[in-house]
Homo-oligomer: A and B are copies of this chain.
Amino acid sequence: MTDIGCALLAGQVAAGARAIRWLDDQDPRGREVLREIFPHTGRAHLVGITGPPGAGKSTLVDALIGEQRARGRRVGVIAVDPSSPFTGGAILGDRVRMQRHALDEGVFVRSMGTRGQAGGLSRSTYDACLVLDAMGYDVVLVETVGVGQDEIDIVSLAHTTVIVMVPGLGDEVQAIKAGLLEVGDVFLLNKADRDGVEQVGRELELMLHLRGQDGEAAAWRPPLLRMVATRGEGTGAAVDALEAHAAHLRASGQYQRQAGLRSYHQFTATLREAATRRLLERALRHSATAALVADVHDLKVDPYSAAEALLAQTEL
């Protein structure tokens, strides 16, 4: 085993940070460390947290960290930030959380930004989860900003998906809820001291009730909990719900299966990128297929017919 792999499994923060950086940079040493630590993953409870901008997710995550620490758990946090497709860096700082938890060795916060490539964020998040898991964090919170398909994909691969809602964010946010509703395991209605909370609460309860109709008998019924994260209200109940969901998954064997699904998802994503790259590289090496690729650029052939023609010439 490499020194970094050993140090990482011993929970050393510097080793974990370096491994995540290598993996992010697609440095081959990252992949070697990942291979070493992989058999030591699968223990941490992965919790995905998403919701619309303005829902107060950072404050809420901060409150959840505090509560988990009070219960003696070590907590890893991955803050998935929107970022520029050009500069590639994460742009949201972890100022609030870092100030409060900076000196706490039981908390490790890491921001991830997109790297401008399709699936890059999903991959970086997956890798970082494995690293924090292997480092021995009991809980890994994956917080995403925004509510697009990317965010849903990322959080729905966690063991437990938490959806944060707030009163009064307008029609579009109401609409977004429907997409989030089906992936949520725990719903937190934040800013519950605000006007409109009763109406949003009733709507969500109705929608969750309707969703509950088609589940099996032993299915999990997603709770809807009210919070005022700025004052820490409802935090204990929220962490109780996370633990109840983890216990539910363990009892049904789904906890371990979820890790297999995540791994398979990453496997197919990796195949997808590598196969496409090789296919295009090979196409450009031969004049007939290179001409076809040029025709796509010149709009002489539609993209689907061109893809069909190229695939017909491969062994696949």
Task: Name the CB-closest residue of B to A259.
Answer: B299
Partner of A147, one of B41, B82, B297: B82
- A276 in the interface (beta carbon within 8 A): yes
Q: Is the CB of A179 within 8 A of B307?
A: no
Contacts of A183 in B (CB 8 A): 85
Q: Is the CB of A278 within 8 A of B316?
A: yes
Contacts of A276 in B (CB 8 A): 268, 271-272, 275
User: In the complex, A257 Cα to B29 Cα: how many Å?
Assistant: 39
User: In the complex, A302 Cα to B37 Cα: how many Å?
Assistant: 9
User: In the complex, A314 Cα to B149 Cα: how many Å?
Assistant: 32
Known contacts A52-B53, A176-B53, A267-B306; decide if A260 and B299 are in contact (CB<8 Å). Answer: yes
- A84 in the interface (beta carbon within 8 A): yes
Interface size, A (range): 35 or more
Q: Is the CB of A179 within 8 A of B85?
A: yes
A91 CB to nearest chain B CB (Å): 5
- A246 in the interface (beta carbon within 8 A): no
- A206 in the interface (beta carbon within 8 A): no
User: In the complex, A41 Cα to B276 Cα: how many Å?
Assistant: 27
- A197 in the interface (beta carbon within 8 A): no
Contacts of A220 in B (CB 8 A): none
A48 CB to nearest chain B CB (Å): 14
User: In the complex, A84 Cα to B121 Cα: how many Å?
Assistant: 21
The winner among A172, A264, A297 for most chain B CB atoms within 10 A is A172
Query: A266-308: contact bitstring with B at CB < 8 Å (1 yes, 0 no)?
Result: 1110111111101110100000000001001111011111110
Known contacts A151-B148, A271-B280, A275-B316; decide if A54 and B173 are in contact (CB<8 Å). Answer: yes
Which of A's residues lie within 8 Å of B, judged by CB? 31, 34-35, 38-39, 41-42, 52-54, 57-58, 81-87, 91-92, 114, 118, 121, 145-153, 156, 169-173, 175-176, 178-179, 181-183, 256, 259-261, 263-264, 266-268, 270-276, 278-280, 282, 293, 296-299, 301-307, 310-311, 314-316
